[in-house]
Amino acid sequence: MDFNNDTALVVLERAAKLSQAKNDTYGRGKSATLIGIVYADKADFPTSKSYYDQAAIHFSALGNYLELGKVFNNTGNLYYFQDRYDEAIIWYLKAVDVFEKAGAHHLMAQVNDGIGNTFQELGQHEKSLHYLRKAEAIARQNKDTLTLARALSNLSVTYSSMNKRKESLLLALEALKMADHTNDQVLPFMIRSNIADTYIDYKQFDSAASYLREAERLALKAGTPYYLLQVYLCYSKIYENTKEYLKAKDYLFKSVEIAERIGSKEGLFKAYGKLLQVYSALGMHEQSMGAFKKFVLYNDSLANEKMANRVNDLETKYRTLQKDKELSDKQLAIEHQRSALKKKDMFIVFSIISMITLLIIGVLIWLGFRQKQKLQWLMIRKEHELLAVKAMMEGEERERTRIARNLHDGVGSILSAARLNMDSLGRQVGQLPAIPAYHESLTLLKDATSEIRETAHNLLPVILHEQGLYDAVQAFCLKFSNNHQLGIDFQSYGTPVRFNHHFELMIYRTIQELINNVVRHAEASRALVQLVFNTDMITITVEDNGKGFDPSGIGQLSGLGINSLHARMKAFQGKVDIDSSPRGTSIHIEFKTDPLLYVA
């Protein structure tokens, strides 16, 4: 199984001795790197790390940042395979820094792929997607098929962790097409293994087994026991689901044998976790209890190992801080000496600077006072403008209220009475209900009553005063869509807030007027009303799919109420942008949410 790796080690160790004999620093660094890769494939991580450290020393001595970055990236991979994700991130970021110094932007794809994969293991899916998409973009730009396939494969795993299995499967199949056209021995295996896992989730066990058979062949060919362990665990999952427990048990025995050989506590934890379930299903309760004990043992061992790694990390950070403190203390002593030598000169300089500073402070205070006065004057002017607009709007609103009440209590009551009389007349005169003109008259009275009620409601929007702008506009759009042929889509973004009554009323009336313009002039079938609440701004957009108009001739389009719209915008310091074409019209309005506009 390990024939390829063992053969490679023999050749590489000869190359390392030859480079040492010739005092070839680059050759020694390259040989150490490749030997480290082989030991990583054999899951001998401590030995792999020692060779990577040797390689880093040689490449640092040469100032070869390109090769040094590759070593740091490999070291990050090493920690990733040991589930030491915090340390993996540190080494990946070191690789980013070194690659930037080397100008090796094409290799950034590999590092971003590693970082994204690590964040996926940490369960930080959004960060994972961010880095993997960066890796994908760089790889596509550089036509790097192998790295692109890796990025797509890892994106597939991330989407699978987010329970987006359809997206995961599509990405994995795309990655597999690319991976099969590369010389990489591991990636085609990994992708097939992930696809098999996805098909197991879909309960498509025949498809899963098909991909696993090819994955097993590739793992045996590469001579990598870690990957063969993943295949056997996956097989056991299939046979457990299909209730072929004896086959599942056989594959779990193989998994335990490999995990013990390479020292994979996580593999043993997973295998014994599955074995206790399989033994239980077979009625082998004594063996199930034994597997459970091993499961608990390796679970505790993994937890202790993670805690030990955490303690070691903290100890390393503590020692680093101690060294930094010692350096800081030495630097501080040197600075004190320099400070003593310059003390006399600094006194003179300080005196001059103090005088200049006092002068500058005096000027700044004077300028600040002037600016404060100017701001106060502007604020007072703005308040006066708002008060004038409020007074005008209050007058308009009182008139609308009077008209609405007259319509509701006067004309509405008369029409309701007429309708009741017509109904009574139809009951008194038996022949009337059979006459079409009578039915048409009754229908017209009903429509007129509804129209009067709707007009009165629009003139006096109670919901605006009680619930605010968001609810009022939403209700208006829904009611308008139900009562007219124009369909209105209402959208809102951000958290709705309450403004003072005059400001909300101005926006509500503006939206009403714009929608009425659409009905009267645009010949549109659909319209959009959109509110966006930001922390310092509110925006309103009204769009339609009508025939449009020429914005350059707005002055001649008095019937559209555009001039009154601009007048309102000016009063409340708003901005309006009108874009119109034969395909429709879009009116975009913005207001900065001045504190004066909020509810007092």
Residue 548, φ and ψ in degrees, nearest 5: 75, -175
What Cα–Cα distance (Å) separates residue 488 from each residue in 124, 240, 477?
40, 54, 6
The pLDDT tens digits of the residues spanning 39-79 come to 988 888 899 999 999 999 999 999 999 999 999 999 998 99
User: Which residues touch 287 (CB under 8 Å, ≥6 apart)?
Assistant: 275, 279
Which has the closest alpha carbon to 531: 459, 480, 593? 593
Is 405 a residue whose pLDDT tops 60?
A: no
Q: What is the tens place of the pLDDT at every residue in 299-348? A: 876 666 655 555 455 454 445 445 555 655 566 666 666 666 676 667 67
Q: For 1-83, which CATH superfamily applies?
A: Tetratricopeptide repeat domain (1.25.40.10)
Q: Which residues have C-beta within 8 Å of that of residue 394, sequence separation ≥ 6?
A: 502
Residue 487 dihedral angles phi and psi, to the nearest 5°: -90, 130
DSSP state of 426: H
DSSP state letters, 271-296 = HHHHHHHHHHHTT-HHHHHHHHHHHH
pLDDT, tens digit (0-9, with 9 covering 90-100), for 142-180? 999 999 999 999 999 899 889 898 898 899 999 999 988
Taking residues 538-560, report their average pLDDT: 77
Whole-angstrom distance, CA of residue 1 vs CA of residue 7: 11
Query: How far, in Å, CA of 426 to CA of 350, rounded?
Result: 104
Q: Beta 487-493 vs 526-533: how paired, if at all?
A: parallel
Residue-level pLDDT at 524: 92
Comparing CA positions, the residue from 24, 92, 91 lying closest to residue 64 is: 24
Any idea which of 29-33, 111-115, 461-465 has the lowest mean pLDDT? 461-465
Can you name the CATH fold of 463-597?
Heat Shock Protein 90 (3.30.565)
CATH topology of domain 104-223: 1.25.40
508-547 pLDDT, tens per residue?
989 988 998 898 888 999 999 999 999 889 999 999 999 9
How many other CB atoms are found less than 10 A from the CB of residue 435? 12
**Which pair of structure tokens corresponds to residue 519?**
């009905």
Q: What's the pLDDT score for residue 481?
A: 87
Residue 528 DSSP SS3: strand
pTM for this one? 0.46
Q: How far apart are CA 564 and CA 570, in angstroms?
A: 10
pLDDT at 1: 39
204-212 average pLDDT score: 89
CA distance 415 to 9: 100
Q: Is residue 462 pLDDT above 80, yes or no?
A: no
Tokens of 399: 């008139």
| pLDDT tens digit sequence for 232-244 | 998 999 998 999 9
pLDDT confidence of 463, banded at 50, 70, 90?
Answer: confident
